[in-house]
Copies of this chain bind each other. A is one copy, B any other.
Amino acid sequence: MKARVTIMPQAAVLDPAGVATAQAIGHLGISGVRSVRIGKSIDLDIDGMTKEQLHQICRDLLSNPVIEDYQLEILS
């Protein structure tokens, strides 16, 4: 089974890498970027795990609830 976890910084949390990337896009000579937010995308290849266990992994290990939110998708 494959799962994808997407972890994004919470809206209120500063994302300096995102800000720098938005600037860099400007330097490329492309205008029209309002904002960029950078998070993680994690692919898990798993075998015989409950959805509850998956959520536990996301909550306890993969994301930090102080600054991040996660989204779990089962791909197959």
Binding site for B on A (CB under 8 A): 6-8, 18, 21, 24-25, 28, 30, 32-49, 53, 56-57, 60-62
Bound together, the chains give a CA A51 to CA B60 distance in angstroms of: 37
Task: Take A60-B28, A61-B28 as given contacts and tell me if A40 and B43 are in contact as well, using a CB distance cutoff of 8 Å.
Answer: no
Oligomer copy total? 2
User: Which residue of the partner chain B has the closest CB to A57?
Assistant: B25
**What would 15 A/B residue contacts be, using CB atoms closer than 8 Å?**
A6-B6, A8-B41, A21-B62, A28-B60, A28-B61, A30-B53, A30-B56, A30-B57, A32-B49, A33-B46, A33-B47, A33-B49, A36-B43, A37-B42, A39-B41
A37 proximity list for chain B (CB < 8 A): 42-43
